[in-house]
Amino acid sequence: MAEQNNDKMADLEDDRFTPEEARMVIKMIEDVEREEADELDRKKDQKSA
């Protein structure tokens, strides 16, 4: 996962964002991805229950 974050950092650091901003954006993206994964897990649990 760390390697993936480094790739994201490299993509975001091309002039548009400071490193701090890039980290914040990545954190927000990861939070959203985690929430979506949790939601999918809940839906699977409901179907199997």
pLDDT at 34: 97
Whether the CB-CB separation of 11 and 23 falls below 8 Å is answered with: no
Q: Taking the model in full, what pTM does it have?
A: 0.56
Q: What is the pLDDT of residue 4?
A: 63
Domain that holds residue 6: 2-48
So what's the pLDDT on residue 16? 73
* Number of domains, the chain: 1
Give the up-direction half-sphere exposure of residue 33: CA atoms within 13 A in the CB hemisphere.
6
Query: What's the pLDDT tens digit per position in 38-47?
Result: 999 999 998 8
pLDDT of residue 1: 46
